[in-house]
Structure 1
Amino acid sequence: MRILLINGYTPHPDAGGKLTQTLVDISREKLSPQNEVKVTAITTYKASEEADKFRWADLILLYFPLYWYAIPWGLKRYIDDVFALHQFYDTDENGQPVALMPGKQFGYVTTLAAVADTYAPGNPLTEGLTVSDLLRPLTVTFRYVGIEPATHFHNCIFYDVYNPNVIQPIKASLLAELSKLDDE
């Protein structure tokens, strides 16, 4: 399988990006022996080269911290720059969208400083919204261009990442999820 790993970390005063990079590195090491793997960091890219990587890939995995209930602005900018008209999508004679990236899948690995209870049903702050709910625009954006949610990879959402006791379980959980791709 051809897999594109995208490090969507955007520099932020409260987050150095080390965990995101570690998760990308773990994934590359786990997946490379049985797959073709390419890695992109959104802090340095050329949109045309990234479009070529998307055309090449069967599976795209995004890695990013969740900032203020959304993807980092740099990842949003990357998507805006790379998902170009006539390359990723078009419109038909009736103005209806035409997806130009069918047959591809995506998933994400996201990290949060918040504890999981923040997104529990009945929490007045988030009003029952889950992280998946917050990231629905990301899913719809990928589906708009024909890239569907991965069938053999469950999105990884890791909470409370400033707690040093969760780092090893996060790594183990990611490796377990990536192992499912071995059966693909």
Structure 2
Amino acid sequence: MSNVLIINAHHHYPFSEGKLNGALVQMSEELITAKGHEVRTVKIDDEWNVEQELENHKWADIVLLQSPVNWMGVPWTFKKYMDEVYTAGMGGDLCVGDGRSEAEPKKNYGAGGTLTGKKYLLSLTFNAPEEAFNDKDEYLFQGKGVDDLFFPMHMNFRFFGMEPLETFVCYDVMKNADAEGDFKRFADHIEKIF
């Protein structure tokens, strides 16, 4: 059985209380523990401790990042978490520097990860409709997909030596929500992975 760290990256705003991301986190906890896995959850809007979060990442076999997409990325509060926790982890907890050596200063940037063999899952909620992606005729994303948009986040986890699991997405959650359909697809996604 696996150890699973679930990160709820939602940041509360009056127009976005975090109910959908909270429900997906709760579903994750219930579905994953029902299969016999151990789960730890951190909510970015609550207090967290850098040392405990480093320990959580070392403990976890899988990190599940549950996040809304704010301005084409993660909320600023999760970026703060990354800046503090991930920077503190560069001394060997998450990676050994940036992977380069003095003998080869121009090679192997990003190859110093110490979390090899571990995996991560991005679970994202978008206001954008699914049809906005992967279609070169669509205005904003010009044929790019969700994983293209989240390439920097994938690179952050790769920096630690982690491998991706298939990204899960809820689309159009503010103007044309299908929470029931999203929950069913999410349960199927968790079942497939775990």
Same fold (TM over 0.5): yes
Matched, 1:106 2:120: yes
Return the match for 2:191 from 158, 176, 179. Answer: 179
Q: Mind listing any 5+ residue stretches in structure 1 that lack a counterpart?
A: none
Provide the rounded CA distance (Å) in 1 between the counterparts of 2:146 and 2:193. Answer: 23
Provide the rounded CA distance (Å) in 1 between the counterparts of 2:113 and 2:56. Answer: 17
Return the match for 1:118 from 114, 132, 136. Answer: 132
Q: Mind listing any 5+ residue stretches in structure 2 that lack a counterpart?
A: none
Is 112-121 or 159-168 further displaced after alignment?
Answer: 159-168
2:95 alignment counterpart = 89
Deviations 1:124-155 (A, max 9, x none): 222222221110100011001111112xxx21
Shift of residue 165, structure 1, vs aligned partner: 5.2
Q: Check conservation: 1:7, 1:64, Cα contact below 8 A.
A: yes
Structure 1 segments of 4 or more deviating over 2 A? Answer: 11-14, 91-97, 162-165
2:53 alignment counterpart = 50
Provide the rounded CA distance (Å) in 1 between the counterparts of 2:167 and 2:185. Answer: 11
Alignment of 1:12-161 (within 5 A): 12-33=13-34, 34-43=36-45, 44-83=47-86, 84-86=89-91, 87-91=93-97, 92-94=100-102, 95=105, 96-97=109-110, 98-121=112-135, 122-150=137-165, 154-161=166-173
Provide the rounded CA distance (Å) in 1 between the counterparts of 2:13 and 2:71. Answer: 12
Is 54-63 or 65-74 further displaced after alignment?
Answer: 65-74
Q: Check conservation: 2:9, 2:65, Cα contact below 8 A.
A: yes
Provide the rounded CA distance (Å) in 2 between the counterparts of 1:125 and 1:145. Answer: 31
Deviations 1:106-134 (A, max 9, x none): 01110011111222411122222222111
Aligned length: 179
TM-score computed with the length of structure 1 as normaliser = 0.90
Deviations 1:30-84 (A, max 9, x none): 1112101111101221111010000000000000110111111111111111112
- Give the counterpart letter for 2:126 in structure 1: L
Provide the rounded CA distance (Å) in 1 between the counterparts of 2:77 and 2:184. Answer: 28
TM-score computed with the length of structure 2 as normaliser = 0.86
How much identity, in percent, do the aligned residues show?
26
- Give the counterpart letter for 1:112 in structure 2: F
Provide the rounded CA distance (Å) in 1 between the counterparts of 2:121 and 2:18. Answer: 19
Q: Check conservation: 1:107, 1:149, Cα contact below 8 A.
A: yes
